[in-house]
Structure 1
Protein backbone atom coordinates (compact mmCIF):
# COMPACT_ATOMS: atom_id res chain seq x y z
CA UNK A 1 0.00 0.00 0.00
CA UNK A 2 1.21 3.45 -0.74
CA UNK A 3 1.79 4.87 2.72
CA UNK A 4 -0.89 7.21 4.03
CA UNK A 5 -0.06 9.33 7.06
CA UNK A 6 -1.35 7.86 10.33
CA UNK A 7 -3.43 11.00 10.87
CA UNK A 8 -5.39 10.38 7.66
CA UNK A 9 -5.89 6.69 8.42
CA UNK A 10 -7.10 7.52 11.93
CA UNK A 11 -9.49 10.13 10.53
CA UNK A 12 -10.87 7.65 7.99
CA UNK A 13 -11.41 4.86 10.51
CA UNK A 14 -13.00 7.24 13.00
CA UNK A 15 -15.25 8.65 10.30
CA UNK A 16 -16.26 5.17 9.17
CA UNK A 17 -17.32 4.43 12.73
CA UNK A 18 -19.37 7.64 12.89
CA UNK A 19 -20.99 6.81 9.56
CA UNK A 20 -21.92 3.30 10.74
CA UNK A 21 -23.28 4.65 14.02
CA UNK A 22 -25.32 7.20 12.09
CA UNK A 23 -26.68 4.55 9.73
CA UNK A 24 -27.71 2.48 12.73
CA UNK A 25 -29.26 5.45 14.54
CA UNK A 26 -31.29 6.57 11.53
CA UNK A 27 -32.61 3.04 11.02
CA UNK A 28 -33.48 2.70 14.71
CA UNK A 29 -35.23 6.08 14.77
CA UNK A 30 -37.14 5.28 11.61
CA UNK A 31 -38.27 1.96 13.08
CA UNK A 32 -39.30 3.55 16.37
CA UNK A 33 -41.44 6.14 14.60
CA UNK A 34 -42.99 3.52 12.34
CA UNK A 35 -43.74 1.11 15.20
CA UNK A 36 -45.20 3.78 17.49
CA UNK A 37 -47.09 5.90 14.98
CA UNK A 38 -47.35 3.88 11.78
CA UNK A 39 -47.13 5.28 8.29
CA UNK A 40 -49.41 8.29 8.31
CA UNK A 41 -49.62 11.66 6.64
CA UNK A 42 -47.76 13.08 9.64
CA UNK A 43 -44.98 10.48 9.82
CA UNK A 44 -44.25 10.00 6.12
CA UNK A 45 -42.13 13.17 5.76
CA UNK A 46 -40.04 12.24 8.81
CA UNK A 47 -39.62 8.65 7.63
CA UNK A 48 -38.54 9.86 4.19
CA UNK A 49 -36.14 12.35 5.76
CA UNK A 50 -34.58 9.55 7.82
CA UNK A 51 -34.29 7.29 4.77
CA UNK A 52 -32.54 10.11 2.92
CA UNK A 53 -30.23 10.71 5.88
CA UNK A 54 -29.33 7.01 5.97
CA UNK A 55 -28.54 7.07 2.25
CA UNK A 56 -26.41 10.23 2.71
CA UNK A 57 -24.36 8.22 5.23
CA UNK A 58 -24.22 4.99 3.24
CA UNK A 59 -22.82 6.58 0.09
CA UNK A 60 -19.72 8.16 1.65
CA UNK A 61 -19.12 5.02 3.73
CA UNK A 62 -18.99 2.96 0.55
CA UNK A 63 -16.78 5.53 -1.20
CA UNK A 64 -14.34 5.62 1.73
CA UNK A 65 -14.05 1.83 1.78
CA UNK A 66 -13.54 1.64 -1.98
CA UNK A 67 -11.01 4.47 -2.07
CA UNK A 68 -9.03 3.08 0.84
CA UNK A 69 -8.86 -0.27 -0.94
CA UNK A 70 -7.66 1.43 -4.14
CA UNK A 71 -4.98 3.28 -2.17
CA UNK A 72 -3.86 -0.02 -0.64
CA UNK A 73 -3.57 -1.54 -4.10
CA UNK A 74 -1.68 1.39 -5.63
CA UNK A 75 2.06 1.02 -5.90
CA UNK A 76 4.56 2.50 -5.50
CA UNK A 77 2.67 5.70 -4.79
CA UNK A 78 -0.95 6.76 -4.81
CA UNK A 79 -1.91 9.05 -7.70
CA UNK A 80 -2.54 12.63 -6.66
CA UNK A 81 -6.04 12.58 -8.13
CA UNK A 82 -6.93 9.61 -5.92
CA UNK A 83 -5.56 11.35 -2.83
CA UNK A 84 -7.53 14.48 -3.68
CA UNK A 85 -10.68 12.39 -4.08
CA UNK A 86 -9.99 10.74 -0.73
CA UNK A 87 -9.67 14.10 1.02
CA UNK A 88 -12.82 15.37 -0.70
CA UNK A 89 -14.72 12.24 0.33
CA UNK A 90 -13.57 12.66 3.95
CA UNK A 91 -14.91 16.22 3.95
CA UNK A 92 -18.22 15.19 2.36
CA UNK A 93 -18.60 12.29 4.78
CA UNK A 94 -18.12 14.58 7.77
CA UNK A 95 -20.70 16.98 6.40
CA UNK A 96 -23.10 14.04 5.91
CA UNK A 97 -22.57 12.93 9.53
CA UNK A 98 -23.30 16.43 10.81
CA UNK A 99 -26.41 16.85 8.64
CA UNK A 100 -27.74 13.42 9.52
CA UNK A 101 -27.26 13.99 13.24
CA UNK A 102 -29.41 17.10 12.90
CA UNK A 103 -32.08 15.16 10.99
CA UNK A 104 -32.16 12.44 13.63
CA UNK A 105 -32.44 14.96 16.48
CA UNK A 106 -35.26 16.76 14.68
CA UNK A 107 -37.22 13.56 14.05
CA UNK A 108 -36.77 12.41 17.64
CA UNK A 109 -37.87 15.80 18.93
CA UNK A 110 -40.90 15.92 16.64
CA UNK A 111 -42.12 12.54 17.88
CA UNK A 112 -40.96 12.83 21.51
CA UNK A 113 -38.43 10.02 21.20
CA UNK A 114 -35.68 11.77 23.16
Structure 2
Protein backbone atom coordinates (compact mmCIF):
# COMPACT_ATOMS: atom_id res chain seq x y z
CA UNK A 1 0.00 0.00 0.00
CA UNK A 2 1.47 3.29 -1.06
CA UNK A 3 0.25 6.19 1.03
CA UNK A 4 0.46 9.58 -0.62
CA UNK A 5 0.30 12.64 1.57
CA UNK A 6 -0.34 15.91 -0.23
CA UNK A 7 -1.29 19.44 0.65
CA UNK A 8 -4.77 20.47 -0.47
CA UNK A 9 -3.16 23.58 -1.94
CA UNK A 10 -1.09 21.36 -4.27
CA UNK A 11 2.23 22.72 -3.12
CA UNK A 12 5.38 21.01 -4.32
CA UNK A 13 6.28 19.30 -1.04
CA UNK A 14 5.98 15.55 -1.82
CA UNK A 15 4.85 13.20 0.94
CA UNK A 16 5.06 16.09 3.38
CA UNK A 17 3.96 15.86 6.92
CA UNK A 18 4.46 19.60 7.15
CA UNK A 19 4.43 22.15 4.38
CA UNK A 20 4.13 25.91 4.29
CA UNK A 21 0.32 25.59 4.13
CA UNK A 22 -0.01 22.94 6.76
CA UNK A 23 -1.04 24.38 10.10
CA UNK A 24 -1.31 21.30 12.27
CA UNK A 25 -2.21 19.03 9.34
CA UNK A 26 -5.41 20.96 8.68
CA UNK A 27 -4.69 21.08 4.95
CA UNK A 28 -3.29 17.57 4.60
CA UNK A 29 -5.05 14.76 2.79
CA UNK A 30 -4.23 11.07 2.68
CA UNK A 31 -4.98 9.07 -0.42
CA UNK A 32 -4.82 5.36 -1.08
CA UNK A 33 -3.04 5.02 -4.39
CA UNK A 34 -4.46 1.60 -5.28
CA UNK A 35 -8.13 2.48 -4.92
CA UNK A 36 -7.97 6.22 -5.62
CA UNK A 37 -10.51 7.22 -3.02
CA UNK A 38 -9.94 9.71 -0.28
CA UNK A 39 -9.62 7.91 3.02
CA UNK A 40 -9.22 10.77 5.43
CA UNK A 41 -9.87 14.44 4.91
CA UNK A 42 -10.20 17.65 6.80
CA UNK A 43 -12.72 20.43 6.52
CA UNK A 44 -11.55 23.73 7.90
CA UNK A 45 -9.33 23.15 10.91
CA UNK A 46 -11.34 20.29 12.41
CA UNK A 47 -10.52 16.65 11.72
CA UNK A 48 -13.45 14.93 10.06
CA UNK A 49 -13.75 11.51 8.49
CA UNK A 50 -15.69 11.35 5.24
CA UNK A 51 -18.93 9.37 5.27
CA UNK A 52 -17.43 6.78 2.91
CA UNK A 53 -14.59 6.09 5.35
CA UNK A 54 -16.99 5.83 8.29
CA UNK A 55 -19.15 3.38 6.33
CA UNK A 56 -16.05 1.32 5.51
CA UNK A 57 -15.04 1.19 9.17
CA UNK A 58 -18.57 0.29 10.32
CA UNK A 59 -18.84 -2.41 7.65
CA UNK A 60 -15.51 -3.90 8.73
CA UNK A 61 -16.62 -3.82 12.36
CA UNK A 62 -19.81 -5.73 11.50
CA UNK A 63 -17.79 -8.31 9.56
CA UNK A 64 -15.35 -8.72 12.44
CA UNK A 65 -18.20 -9.16 14.92
CA UNK A 66 -19.76 -11.77 12.64
CA UNK A 67 -16.41 -13.57 12.45
CA UNK A 68 -16.10 -13.61 16.26
CA UNK A 69 -19.64 -14.97 16.53
CA UNK A 70 -18.98 -17.67 13.94
CA UNK A 71 -15.72 -18.58 15.67
CA UNK A 72 -17.37 -18.96 19.08
CA UNK A 73 -20.27 -20.89 17.53
CA UNK A 74 -17.85 -23.24 15.78
CA UNK A 75 -15.89 -23.82 18.97
CA UNK A 76 -19.09 -24.56 20.91
CA UNK A 77 -20.35 -27.00 18.28
CA UNK A 78 -16.97 -28.74 18.07
CA UNK A 79 -16.83 -29.17 21.85
CA UNK A 80 -20.43 -30.39 21.93
CA UNK A 81 -19.95 -32.86 19.08
CA UNK A 82 -16.49 -34.24 19.83
CA UNK A 83 -15.24 -32.74 23.07
CA UNK A 84 -11.78 -31.56 23.97
CA UNK A 85 -9.72 -34.50 22.84
CA UNK A 86 -6.30 -34.77 21.26
CA UNK A 87 -7.81 -34.74 17.76
CA UNK A 88 -9.54 -31.39 18.32
CA UNK A 89 -6.66 -29.53 19.99
CA UNK A 90 -5.29 -28.10 16.71
CA UNK A 91 -8.74 -26.90 15.62
CA UNK A 92 -9.50 -25.39 19.03
CA UNK A 93 -6.13 -23.61 19.04
CA UNK A 94 -6.78 -22.25 15.54
CA UNK A 95 -10.23 -21.06 16.63
CA UNK A 96 -8.73 -19.33 19.65
CA UNK A 97 -6.14 -17.60 17.46
CA UNK A 98 -8.81 -16.47 14.99
CA UNK A 99 -10.93 -15.08 17.81
CA UNK A 100 -8.02 -13.16 19.31
CA UNK A 101 -7.02 -11.75 15.91
CA UNK A 102 -10.53 -10.62 15.00
CA UNK A 103 -11.13 -9.16 18.47
CA UNK A 104 -7.85 -7.24 18.37
CA UNK A 105 -8.60 -5.82 14.92
CA UNK A 106 -12.09 -4.79 16.03
CA UNK A 107 -10.75 -3.10 19.16
CA UNK A 108 -8.08 -1.29 17.14
CA UNK A 109 -10.68 0.10 14.72
CA UNK A 110 -12.88 1.30 17.59
CA UNK A 111 -9.97 2.85 19.49
CA UNK A 112 -8.60 4.69 16.46
CA UNK A 113 -12.04 5.91 15.42
CA UNK A 114 -12.62 7.27 18.90
CA UNK A 115 -9.18 8.94 19.04
CA UNK A 116 -9.77 10.63 15.69
CA UNK A 117 -13.24 11.77 16.74
CA UNK A 118 -11.96 13.18 20.02
CA UNK A 119 -9.04 15.01 18.41
CA UNK A 120 -9.71 18.73 18.25
CA UNK A 121 -8.92 20.87 16.50
CA UNK A 122 -7.02 18.36 14.32
CA UNK A 123 -6.33 14.66 14.40
CA UNK A 124 -2.73 13.55 14.75
CA UNK A 125 -1.16 12.48 11.44
CA UNK A 126 0.18 9.25 12.96
CA UNK A 127 -3.28 8.31 14.25
CA UNK A 128 -4.75 8.88 10.81
CA UNK A 129 -2.00 6.78 9.25
CA UNK A 130 -2.68 4.01 11.76
CA UNK A 131 -6.37 4.11 10.82
CA UNK A 132 -5.51 3.76 7.15
CA UNK A 133 -3.10 0.89 7.88
CA UNK A 134 -5.71 -0.83 10.04
CA UNK A 135 -8.42 -0.54 7.38
CA UNK A 136 -6.08 -2.04 4.80
CA UNK A 137 -4.94 -4.80 7.18
CA UNK A 138 -8.50 -5.80 8.07
CA UNK A 139 -9.63 -5.74 4.45
CA UNK A 140 -6.73 -7.96 3.41
CA UNK A 141 -6.78 -10.43 6.31
CA UNK A 142 -10.50 -10.92 6.94
CA UNK A 143 -11.12 -13.21 3.93
CA UNK A 144 -8.32 -15.54 5.06
CA UNK A 145 -9.68 -15.67 8.60
CA UNK A 146 -13.16 -16.51 7.30
CA UNK A 147 -11.71 -19.21 5.02
CA UNK A 148 -9.90 -20.73 7.99
CA UNK A 149 -13.14 -20.81 9.96
CA UNK A 150 -14.97 -22.43 7.06
CA UNK A 151 -12.23 -25.07 6.66
CA UNK A 152 -12.51 -26.01 10.33
CA UNK A 153 -16.29 -26.26 10.03
CA UNK A 154 -15.97 -28.45 6.93
CA UNK A 155 -13.22 -30.65 8.41
CA UNK A 156 -15.37 -31.41 11.43
CA UNK A 157 -18.69 -31.36 9.53
CA UNK A 158 -20.16 -28.66 11.74
- Scaled by the length of structure 2, the TM-score of the pair is 0.68
Structure 1 residue 54 displacement after superposition: 0.7
Q: Which runs of 5+ in 2 are unaligned?
A: 1-45
Task: Report the equivalent of 2:84.
Answer: 39
Structure having the higher strand fraction is 2
Contact 1:2–1:75 under 8 Å retained in 2: yes
Q: What are the superposed Cα offsets for residues 37-74 of structure 1, whole Å, 9 maximum, x if unpaired?
A: 00111111001101100111000100111111100110
Instruction: Give the structure, 1 or 2, with the largest relative contact order (CA under 8 Å, sep 6 or more).
Output: 1
Q: Compare 76-85 and 64-73 and name the one that shifted more.
A: 76-85
Over alpha carbons, which structure has the higher Rg?
A: 2
Task: Report the equivalent of 2:55.
Answer: 10
Contact 1:29–1:108 under 8 Å retained in 2: yes
Q: How many residues align?
A: 113
Structure 1 residue 23 displacement after superposition: 0.3
RMSD value, Cα: 1.1
Q: In structure 2, what is the Cα distance between the partners aligned to 1:61 and 1:93?
A: 9
Q: Which runs of 5+ in 1 are unaligned?
A: none
Q: Which runs of 4+ in 1 moved over 3 A?
A: none
